[in-house]
Structure 1
Amino acid sequence: MKIADMNWMQVETRTASDDRCILPIGSVEQHAYLSLATDMILAEKVSVDAAEPLGVPVFPALPYGLASSFASFPGTLTLSLATYISIIRDLLDSMYRSGFRRILVVNGHGGNTPAMTVISEWLNDHPDASVKFHDWWRAPKTMAKVLEIDPAASHASWMENFPWTRTGDPRQPSTQKPRIDFAALARVDTERKRALLGDGNYHGLYQRPDEDMLAIWSVAVSETRELLESDWH
C-alpha cells in the first residue's frame, strides 16, 4: 500500500496493530538508454508489489542518492555523503516517531551502501526497532535468476531494462558491450569515467525479451516480500 493513499489517522491506526513499513531509496543517474530514474523506479515498484498483499505501507522513494561517479553525465543528481547521512537518519527518526518499529529499506543503487552504517548507528540509539537493508537486485535469489538467464549483466545493461524503465528513445543497441575496465574506472574522476564508459552500460546486452525480465521480477518481488514476513528479531 502506498502511504500516499493514506491519511495520518489511518497511519496511526495501522501502526497500533502492525509497525512495519518500507522506505525505498534510489538514485537519479545515467543508465545509458534507460530512464535516469531507473534506480528509484525499480526500488519503489518492487516495494509496492511486494507489500501489496500484506497491506504494509510504502513511503515514496527517496529519489536522490550518492552518484558522484556519474556526475558528468547530464541529468545525474548526487548528494554529498554528509548530506545523505543526515537525510537517512532524519527519515528513520520520522518513521520512528510515526510508530514504525520494523522498517525495510529497499535499495536500488549500489552507491547508497553507506546508508548501512547510518542504520547501524541509528539502531544503537533505538534498541526497540529493527531495520533491514535490502539491495533488491543483488539479493541471493534474484541475482541467481539473473545469472541463470545471462551472466553478462551490469549497470545500465539488460538486467535493468524493464518495461517501466524504458524511455521514448528509439535507439537500443542490439550488440553486446564488452566488459569495461573496472580498475581503471575506480581510479579516475567523473570526467574520465564518462570517457571510459561511453554510453554508460558497464557490459552485456542492452535488452532481453520481456519474458526474461518478468521472470526476474517475480523472483525479486517474492524475495522482498519474504523479508517483510519473517525474521524481524
Structure 2
Amino acid sequence: MNIADMNWIQVEERAAHDDRCILPIGSVEQHAYLSLCTDMILAEKVSADAAAPSGVPVFPVVPYGLASSFATYPGTMTLKLSTYIALIGDLLDSMYRSGFRRILIVNGHGGNTPITALISEWLNAHPAARVKMHDWWRAPQTWAKVMEIDPAASHASWMENFPWTRLAGVEQPAGAKPRIDFARLARVDAATKREMLGEGNYHGLFQRPDEDMLAIWDVAVAETRALLESDWD
C-alpha cells in the first residue's frame, strides 16, 4: 500500500501489528534513450508490486541519488555524498519514530550503495531495528535471469528498457553497442566519461522483446517479495 493512500492514524495502527515498510531509492540521471527517471521508476514499481499482496506500506521513492559520474549530461541530478547520507539517515529515523522496525530499502541505482556503511552505523544505534538493502536488478535470481537472456547487459542497455521506462516516440537504435573500457571509466572525470559513453549505454542491445522484459520483472518482483516476507532475524 502506498503511503500516499494512508493517513497518520492508519500508519500508526499498521505499524503496531506489522512493523515492516519499504523505502524505494533511485536516481535521476542519463539512461541513453530511456527516461531520465528510469532508476526511480523501477525501484518504486518493483516495491509496489512486491508489497501488493501483503499491504506493507511503501514510502514515496527518493528520486535523487549519487550520480556524479553523469553530472555533465543535462537533466542528471546528483547529491553530494554527505547530503545523501544525511538524507537517508533522517528518513530511517523518521520511519523508526513511526513504529517501523523492519525496513526494506529497494535500491534502483548502483551509485547509491555507499549508504550501506550508514545502515551499519544506524543499526548499531537502533538494535531493535532490522534493515535490508536490496539492489533489485542485481539480486541473485534476477541477475541470473538477465544473464540467461543476454549476458551483454548494462546501464542504459536493454536490461533497463521496460514498457514503463521507455519514452513515447523515441526509437531505440538497432544493434548492440560494444563494451566500454570500465577500468578507464572508473578513473576519469564526468566530462571524459560522457565523451567515452556518448548516448550513455555501457554495452549491449538497446532493446529486447517485451516477453523477455516481463520474464525478468516476474523474477524481480518475486525475489523482492521474498525478502519482504522472510529472514528478518
State the TM-score bracket (shorter-chain normalisation). Answer: over 0.9
Q: Specify the alignment match of 1:103 in structure 2.
A: 103
Q: Which residue type is aligned with residue 142 of structure 1?
A: T
Query: What does 1:141-180 correspond to in 2, within 5 Å?
Result: 141-180=141-180
Change (3 A) 1:139 1:204: same
Q: Specify the alignment match of 2:70 in structure 1.
A: 70
Q: Specify the alignment match of 1:48 in structure 2.
A: 48
Q: Specify the alignment match of 1:130 in structure 2.
A: 130
Q: Which residue type is aligned with residue 151 of structure 1?
A: P
Residue deviations 1:207-230 (CA, integer Å, cap 9, x gap) = 000000000000000000000110
Across the aligned residues of Structure 1 and Structure 2, the Cα RMSD in angstroms comes to 0.5
2-structure distance, mates of 1:226, 1:172 = 34
Runs of 5+ consecutive residues of structure 2 not aligned to the other structure: none
- Cα shift at 1:46: 0.1
Query: What does 1:186-201 correspond to in 2, within 5 Å?
Result: 186-201=186-201
2-structure distance, mates of 1:119, 1:145 = 28
Whether the 8 Å CA contact 1:44–1:60 is kept in 2: the answer is: yes
Instruction: Work out whether 1:39 is the aligned partner of 2:8.
Output: no
Residue deviations 1:45-77 (CA, integer Å, cap 9, x gap) = 000000000110000000000000000000000
Q: Which residue type is aligned with residue 194 of structure 1?
A: R
2-structure distance, mates of 1:71, 1:167 = 22
Change (3 A) 1:201 1:169: farther
- Cα shift at 1:169: 4.2
Segments ≥4 residues shifted beyond 2 Å = 168-171
Q: Which residue type is aligned with residue 227 of structure 1?
A: L
2-structure distance, mates of 1:9, 1:189 = 48
Runs of 5+ consecutive residues of structure 1 not aligned to the other structure: none
Residue deviations 1:1-58 (CA, integer Å, cap 9, x gap) = 1111000000000001000000000000000000000000000000000000011000
1-structure distance, mates of 2:171, 2:74 = 18
Residue-pair matches, total:
233
Whether the 8 Å CA contact 1:33–1:169 is kept in 2: the answer is: no
2-structure distance, mates of 1:221, 1:115 = 23
Residue deviations 1:116-157 (CA, integer Å, cap 9, x gap) = 111110000000000000000000000000000000000000
Moved more, 168-177 or 184-193: 168-177
1-structure distance, mates of 2:117, 2:156 = 26
Q: Specify the alignment match of 1:184 in structure 2.
A: 184
Q: Specify the alignment match of 1:93 in structure 2.
A: 93
- Cα shift at 1:187: 1.1
- Cα shift at 1:184: 1.1
- Cα shift at 1:168: 2.4
- Secondary structure of 2:145's counterpart equals helix
Whether the 8 Å CA contact 1:153–1:203 is kept in 2: the answer is: yes
2-structure distance, mates of 1:91, 1:181 = 37
2-structure distance, mates of 1:33, 1:170 = 7
Residue deviations 1:96-129 (CA, integer Å, cap 9, x gap) = 0000000000000000001111111000000000
Q: TM-score, normalised by structure 1?
A: 0.99
- Secondary structure of 1:95's counterpart equals helix
Instruction: Work out whether 1:202 is the aligned partner of 2:228.
Output: no
